Amino acid sequence: MTEMISKAVVEAENASRRDALLRDYESLGERLARRGIEIDSIKEKVAAYGVAVPSWGVGTGGTRFARFPGLGEPRNIFDKLEDCGVIHQLTRATPTVSLHIPWDKVSDLTALKEKGVALGLGFDAINSNTFSDVPGQAHSYKFGSLSHSDAATRRQAVEHNLECIEIGRALGSKALTVWIGDGSNFPGQSNFTRAFERYLEAMKAVYAALPDDWRVFTEHKMYEPAFYSTVVQDWGTNYLIAQELGPKAFCLVDLGHHAPNVNIEMIVARLIQFRKLGGFHFNDSKYGDDDLDTGSIDPYRLFLVFNELVDAEVRGVDGFNPAHMLDQSHNVTDPIESLITSAMEVCRAYAQALLVDRKALEGYQQENDALMASETLKAAFRTDVEPILAMARLEHGGAIAPVATYRASGYRAKVAGERPAVAGGGGGIV
C-alpha cells in the first residue's frame, strides 16, 4: 500500500492530540449513555461509512468568468488519484473515486486500476460528459446531446455513454451517472415534449447496455448551462425517467441542483419511498448551483437529509443502497483541504442522524407535539460528535486532525515542485 503522507508525520500529529481525544471520547460516551446511546456502536457505523471523491474535485475549479489555478495541480488522473489517496489516508472516509470521462480517459486502464489498488482506492460511479465538446468530435453538443434534434448527434452521445460503461467495467465500477446540459435559452427554442421523448429513447439505448449488476443514475438540474429550460429539470422528471427505464435506473440528487429553499430532504424521502433514490452529489449552496463545500452553508439541511437516510436504514427499506459522492468546485481553497473537510462534514451529519431518538420522535409525531418533535432532531444536531469521528479515524490509521496533519506534511509544496503549473482545463461547475 502506497502511503502518500509519511506515517511518521501522521503518528507525531496524532500523538500530540491523543490524550485529549481519549478524555473527550469518554466524556461524550458518558453523556450519550444517559440518553441510552452506546457510543462505540455509533463509532463503528461511522467508521464503516464512505463517501466517494470526484476526480475533478482535486483540481482547482472555476466559474464561467475565470479560473485561478493553485500550486501543484494534478496533471492527469494518476496525479488526481494520488491526491485522493491523501484524502482517504487522513480521513479513512473516502475509499472510492468517481471518474469523469473524457477528462480522466487513459489508454492503459490496467495501470489505472493498479494505481487505485496501490492507494487503497476503488472506483465509484463513472460520469459521462456530453455537455462539452472534445477536439475532433464529429457532432457538437452546443444544442444538446441525448435529446438533440439531430439523430447522429444523439447516437454519438449514446456511444459515449456506452464507452463509459466499458471503461467502468474495466475498473470495477458498478454505476453510470448521466447528467446532460441539454435545454434551451429561449421560450419556443425547444419543444419540451419532443426533446424529452428523444432523451428517453436515447437513454433506453444506454440502459440496454448496462451490465446486470450495474445501476444508472440520472441527475436533474433546473438550470445551467441552459437558462430557460433543461430537459431533466427536477426530481419529478427524474423519477419519470427512472420509471420509464426500469429497475436498474435511479435518481441522483445533487444538493445544488434545486431552487433555493426547496425542501430537498422531502424529495429524498419521496424517492426512498418509491425505491428510486440512486444517490447523492453532496455540496452546498447559497444561491444556486454554487458547488460550495458540503456543510459550509447549511449543515442543518445536510443533517436533515441524513435524518431521512438513517430513518430508511433503521426501517430496513428493501433495496436501499444510495451512492454517496461529493461534487464540489474549489475555487479559493486547496482542493485537498476542502475535500477532507467535506468528507468529515458528511460523516458528521451521518453520526448526528444516528443519534436521533427515533422512538421519541415517532411518539411526538403521533401526538402532534410539533415543538418536541423539532427539539428531538435538534438535540441530535446540537451534539458535538467530533470525538466519535476522530476516534473512528484514529482507530483506522487516519488522522485525529486531518487538515492540520496535511499541512504539517508539506504535501502541497512537495507536489508543487514535481507538477509544473498548468493553465485552465478540467471542470468546475457540474
Distance CA 31, CA 387 (A): 12
Candidates 105-113, 195-203, 278-286, 370-378 — which segment interacts with Mn ion by CB under 5 A? 278-286
Q: Assign residue 396 a region: left if phi > 0, alpha if psi is -120 to 50, beta otherwise?
A: alpha
Q: What share of the chain is helix, strand, coil (3-state, %, to 5)?
A: 50, 10, 40
Q: How far is the CB of 217 from Mn ion (least distance, A)?
A: 10
Residue in the structure block whose three cell numbers are 409525531: 365
- Smallest distance from Mn ion to CB 281, Å: 4
- In the complex, minimum distance from the CB of residue 305 to Mn ion, in angstroms, rounded to a whole number: 15
Residue type, 215: R
Question: Distance between CA 139 and CA 160 in Å, rounded?
Answer: 12
Q: How far is the CB of 421 from Mn ion (least distance, A)?
A: 28
Q: Phi, psi at residue 249, to the nearest 5°?
A: -105, 135
What would the x/- binding string for Mn ion be over residues 90 to 129, using CB under 5 A?
Answer: ----------------------------------------
Phi-psi region of 177 (alpha: psi -120 to 50; beta: other; left: phi over 0): beta
Looking up cell 421519541, which residue turns up? 360
**Least distance from C-beta 219 to Mn ion, angstroms?**
5
With CB under 5 A as the contact rule, which of the stretches 24-32, 126-134, 199-207, 279-287 interacts with Mn ion? 279-287
The contact pattern for Mn ion, residues 237-276, with x = CB under 5 A and - = no contact, is: -----------------x----------------------
d(CA 294, CA 303): 11
Q: How far is the CB of 49 from Mn ion (least distance, A)?
A: 20
**DSSP-assigned states of every residue in 272-290:** HHTT-EEEEEE-B-SSSS-
Residue among 253 and 401 whose Cβ is closer to Mn ion: 253
Looking at beta carbons only, is 327 or 345 nearer to Mn ion?
A: 327
Contact 198, 135 (CB under 8 A): no
The x, y and z cell numbers of residue 54, run together, are 470526484
* Structural element, H or E, at residue 290: none
CA 107 to centroid of chain Cα atoms:
26
> Please, what is the minimum distance in Å from the beta carbon of residue 328 to Mn ion?
9
3-state secondary structure of 6: coil
- Count of residues touching Mn ion (by CB under 5 A): 3
13 or 124, CB closer to Mn ion? Answer: 124
> From the CB of 430, what's the least distance to Mn ion, in Å?
5
Q: Would you say 206 or 415 has its CB closer to Mn ion?
A: 206
Peptide bond into 225 cis (omega under 30): yes
Which residue, 177 or 376, has its beta carbon nearer to Mn ion? 177
Spell out a b/e string for 9-35, using b for 16 or more CB atoms within 10 Å of the CB, else e: bbeebbeebeeebeebbeebbeebeee
Look at residue 249 and give its three-state secondary structure: strand
Give the distance, in angstroms, between the CA of residue 92 and the centroid of all CA atoms in the same chain.
Answer: 16
Smaller CB distance to Mn ion: residue 57 or 398?
Answer: 57
Site for Mn ion in 13-42 (CB under 5 A): none
Nearer to Mn ion, 387 or 427 (CB): 427
* 73 vs 327, beta carbon nearer Mn ion: 327
Q: Do the Cβ atoms of 198 and 231 come closer than 8 Å?
A: no
Instruction: Give me 377's grid cell.
Output: 432532531
Does 289 help bind Mn ion (rule: CB under 5 A)? no
CB of 280 to Mn ion, least distance (A): 9
For residue 340, the minimal CB distance to Mn ion (Å) is 20
Query: Which residue lies nearer to Mn ion by CB, 92 or 281?
Result: 281
Residue 417 C-beta: closest distance to Mn ion, Å: 33
Sheet containing strand 323-326, edge to edge, reads: 126-127, 175-178, 215-219, 249-254, 277-282, 323-326
- As a whole number of angstroms, the distance between CA 207 and CA 200 comes to 10
Closer residue to Mn ion (CB): 82 or 254:
254
Segment 320 to 339, residues that bind Mn ion, using CB under 5 A: 327
Among 115, 154, 276, 281, binds Mn ion (CB under 5 A): 281
Residue (238 or 383) nearer to Mn ion, CB? 238
Binding site for Mn ion (CB under 5 A): 254, 281, 327
